[in-house]
Structure 1
Amino acid sequence: MTSSGIAESAISTFTARERQRFIEQNPQSMALGERARHALFGGVPMHWMADWSTPSPLFVSRAKGARFHDVDGHEYLDFCLGDTGSMFGHSPEPIAKAIAEQANNGLTSMLPGEDAVVCGELLAARFGLPYWQVTATATDANRYVLRWARGITERKVLLVFDGCYHGTVDDVMVRCHKGQTQPRSGLIGQAYDLTQYSRSIPFNDVEALEAALAQGDVAALMCEPAMTNIGMVLPAPGFMAKCRELTRKYGSLLIIDETHTISSDIGGCTRLWNLEPDFFVLGKPIAGGVPCAVFSCSSAMAEAMQQARRRASENSHGHGHSGMGTTLSANALAMHCMRANLEQVMTVAAYAHMLPLAKRLADGLRRLIATHRLNWSVTELGARSEFQFCAAPPQTGAEAEAAFHDELQMALHLYLINRGILITPFHNMTLCCPDTSAADVDRLIATLDEALTELLAIPCARE
């Protein structure tokens, strides 16, 4: 039983009606979905694209700013924005221009250009860390940073928070259950015991944090400043400062992954909260929607990395290889787009527009929940907000997960989709971008109000 307060029978009735509406409204998406089943595994080019609430994948024809259109000609307000990949809007003009400029000047050469130098300078000025590297995805960045951390400390254990999100790095695919680390459920093809060198503890638990670090074998704590993928969980006052204090006390490194929490401010939580990480990771939106990610390190870590390289060379026989890097990392197209994004898109002015709108949305959600007398809560972080089916904002990943109600969530998402609005799947998260308007925010709130009104009007809807 969750705390949603809405009967399963009402949700089932509501969902059946909305599924039929989608089928009737989207014949082209339905046809493409059927056709795709014969050419694409699961009917989609990446399996999680099928994890939406719709009877068939919703096939997109074009996207611009805060809106996209599907193949049936419907327009949508987009509060998902590629789950942060298009956090600054779809195809911003400077990014479209950068793509066109670079198209005839080479896409990848395995050599740097001036764009790389400018990007490094801009990133250092913005986030306060001096040295930068570029990868294709944040998963890659996290994987490489973990390798560096283990090489520097000569320790093997990675510490993460229960319910963390760091892409698909194998080492983070663990959970904490009754105080014990165990492999995350649903893993496919995992060949070795992840719990041998990975340790999971609850977020916001200082006692568990110190106990894990005090064992003296932790290379690094890899964390988001606020949890975002298990449902949003904000740090308790002083918790992130404790993470920095205790990692230093026990000789472990602090890796801050801001791939989602960059919604907080132009310098992320790292600058906003003065987190002082040893390593910093940022992916998804850094190049305006073009695949790209970055990681950085402090001056002390840069020196330690050189020492780790020397040790590795001394211990190897013949020509060595770090095991890090891919051929398309830091390609010319990505670097040109990242420069355009940092200079013209991911700006102070953009955040000045996004943050008040997200606040307007979060406040509107709270009023809506109160109006319908629902025992739900709202969590927000900068341009990002989420309503959760629990009375108070969760403090741990386990609390956030306990509030999940997949059937209710998907029913509400489907209702919104059928009326031209998209929010992030998997949970109830929203993002506002520089092209989002106050009218867009108000429309989302009004449409969700209509959904709840109709759902709660079904006989015996309240548990």
Structure 2
Amino acid sequence: MPTVLKSTVNRDRLSELYERERATFVLTHPRSAALAEQAATHMPGGVPMSWMVKWPGDFPIFIDTAKGAHFTDVDGIDYVDFCLGDTGAMAGHSPAATIAAVTAQLAKGITTMLPTADAITVSAELAERFGLPLWQFTLTATDANRHAIRYARLLTGRRKIVVHNFCYHGSVDEAFATLDADGRTVDRRSNIGPGVPTSETTIVVEFNDLAAMEAALATGEVAAVLLEPALTNIGIVLPAPGYHQAVRELTRRYGVVLINDETHTICAGPGGLTRAAGLEPDMLVIGKSIGGGIACGTFGMTDEMAGRIERMVPLEDIDVGGIGGTLAGNGLSMAAMAATLTEVLTEAAFVKMIPLADRWADGVQAGIDAVGAPWHVTRLGCRAEYGFSPEEPVNGSEAAASDDFELQQLLHLYALNRGILLTPFHNMALMCPDTTEADVDAHTQMFADLCQELFAG
């Protein structure tokens, strides 16, 4: 694990501001406080999923309604939502086209274990966007990643995969690995109940490190390289010029399957970074955003891969090999994806969203410059993020070393008390088709006020 470099802020001032904001939060959210107490009776931490306790403040706020780029909590407070379900609501909350399609499908049937015509629409749209001709469907990107890894192992006869340090691939077991101080692959801190040590299944390399990538592939043990075109869950880390093209050449040279996970990097445009940068993966995974909030996931592949898989998996055994799920490809999720892809997350939507992310980043940079804070801002399509180091990191270790959880908690709580939501895991802002300049400018003002209080107060 990298050494954490605490940001150059006055820790006493940070603590003082946090306690003030914490008291304000409790005072202004009595209904959420009451529901949190009630929820603790039958849910650990009072939340339906354990990571929800990570939201800043003494308890999570409880949501009443959400629409577009805003939501209202049970205390009647309106919020600008830049978290957007950590990409799950990138289409905006309850987009009209998706709701209409889902409502119509509810009346016709939810799941039948048989295809609907929407599956044709969705697979054709994905093929057009990402350049891979053949697609299969799941309920999460995690499942799509698991299936892609299994197929890669089947096709290569090898068991290990390569991932980047501090990557994000959902809850895929093989991805919960990191590098220790000696550069060895070890279980990531707080990896809960791993079935086997990740060193048995995984080789971790740093993002943008071609020498390490080639050394890993040269072992002859690697079935697949599973990568995000840009790291996103440790803060945005962008690829160096030529990095992906070199990785593609290496994977072909060593007979390794290349899997792009675009679940977060779809923010780069309608076809994610794969399309924007002209990348050529063997398989591609995406989920979250393309269903407009309805659970879904999918993975695409080349004709060559699909043909090999078909020849290697007997029809008799096609349902018992660890690929698929009873609810996968159900009518409801297919209707949601068809509407979201063709009517919501369109080319025109990205033309609007990406400049808003630039406006957000410009506002953050102005706040940083006004007080001389040693921070940076990184941009990736309709997503932007600030980090606590003077320069943008080039790999996961550098990004992790610049993190500051206490400072992050203050920043998020300060924003929350002023009606602005950021993702609880890092300092990311995401634009949706309904985000406005006024929403962005509200964050700019909030961030400037915070910087003044923290650095000049």
**CA separation in 1, counterparts of 2:205 and 2:127?**
31
Regions of 4+ moved over 4 Å: none
Deviations along 1:409-438, one digit per CA (max 9) or x if unpaired, are 110110110010001111101001111111
CA contact 1:4–1:374 (8 Å) conserved in 2 = no
Aligned equivalent of 2:29: 26
Answer yes or no: is 1:257 the counterpart of 2:261: yes
1:307, CA displacement in angstroms? 2.8
Deviation at 1:294, TM superposition (A): 0.8
Looking at structure 2, the residues matched to 363 and 4 of structure 1 have their Cα atoms a distance apart, in angstroms, of 21
SS in 1 for 2:167: coil
Whether the 8 Å CA contact 1:174–1:184 is kept in 2: the answer is: yes
Partner residue of 1:118? 121
Instruction: Find the counterpart in structure 1 of residue 237 from structure 2.
Output: 233
1:193 shift after superposition: 1.9
In the TM superposition, 1:8-23 aligns within 5 A as 8-23=11-26
Distance in 1 between residues matched to 2:385 and 2:261, nearest whole Å: 20
TM-score by length of 2: 0.97
What SS does the corresponding residue of 1:219 show, helix, strand or coil? Answer: strand
Task: Report the Cα distance in structure 2 between the residues aligned to 1:272 and 1:457, rounded to whole angstroms.
Answer: 41
Alignment check: 8 A CA contact 2:186 2:197 kept: no
Q: Is the 8 A contact 1:3 1:391 kept in 2?
A: no
Q: 1:2: Cα distance to partner?
A: 2.5
**Aligned residue for 1:403?**
402
Give the Cα separation in 1 of the matches to 2:271 and 2:455.
42
* Aligned equivalent of 1:210: 214
SS in 2 for 1:444: helix
The residue number in structure 1 matching 2:105 is: 102
Contact 1:60 1:68 in 2 (8 A): yes
1:74-89 correspondence to structure 2 within 5 Å: 74-89=77-92
- Per-residue deviation, 1:191: 3.0
Task: Give the deviation of 1:103 after TM superposition.
Answer: 1.4
Identical residues among aligned pairs (%): 47
Mean CA deviation greater in 62-71 or 268-277: 268-277
Which of 136, 139, 154 matches 1:151?
Answer: 154
In structure 2, what is the equivalent of residue 244 of structure 1?
248
> Structure 1 residues 384 and 320 mapped into 2: Cα distance closer, same or farther (>3 Å)?
closer
SS class of match (1:449):
helix
Q: C-alpha distance in 2, partners of 1:206/1:363?
A: 32
Q: Counterpart of 2:445 in 1: which secondary structure?
A: helix
Kindly report the root-mean-square deviation, in angstroms, between the aligned alpha carbons of the 2 structures: 1.3
Deviation larger for 397-406 or 112-121: 112-121
Letter in 2 for 1:426: F
d(CA) in 2 for partners of 1:442 and 1:113? 43
Aligned-partner Cα distance in 1 for 2:331–2:301: 23
Counterpart pick for 2:170 among 167, 171, 177 = 167
Cα distance in 1, alignment partners of residues 307 and 136 from structure 2: 15
- The CA deviation at 1:457 is 4.0
Preserved contact between residue 67 and residue 76 of structure 1 (Cα < 8 Å): yes
The letter of the residue matching 2:47 is V
Whole-Å separation in 1 of the counterparts to 2:433 and 2:333: 21
Q: Corresponding residue for 1:308?
A: 312
Matches within 5 A, 1:264-343: 264-310=268-314, 321-343=320-342
Match of 1:444 in 2: 443
1-structure distance, mates of 2:214, 2:203 = 13
* SS class of match (1:104): helix
Corresponding letter in the other structure for 1:260: H
**Alignment check: 8 A CA contact 2:185 2:198 kept:** no
Distance 1:419 1:239 in 2: 40
Would the aligned equivalents of 2:367 and 2:451 in 1 still touch at CA under 8 Å?
no
Aligned residue in 2 for 1:377:
376
Distance 1:189 1:52 in 2: 24
Q: How does 1:420-435 map to 2 (within 5 A)?
A: 420-435=419-434
Secondary structure class of the residue paired with 1:216:
coil
**Out of 4, 7, 25, which is 1:4 matched to?**
7
Q: Are the counterparts in 1 of residues 226 and 259 from structure 2 also a CA contact under 8 Å?
A: yes
Per the TM alignment, residue 3 of structure 1 is displaced from its structure 2 partner at its CA by 5.3
1:61 offset after TM fit, Å?
Answer: 0.3
Structure 1: runs of 5+ lacking an equivalent: 459-463
Counterpart in the other structure of 1:461: none
Number of residue-to-residue matches in the alignment: 453
Identify which of 107, 122, 138 aligns with 1:135.
138
- Amino acid of the structure 2 residue aligned with 1:425: P
Cα drift, residue 308 of structure 1: 2.7
Structure-2 separation of matches of 1:345 and 1:293: 17
Tell me which residue corresponds to 1:386. 385
CA distance in 1, matches of 2:444, 2:150: 44
**Residues 377, 392 of structure 1: 8 Å contact kept:** yes
2:222 maps to a residue whose letter is V
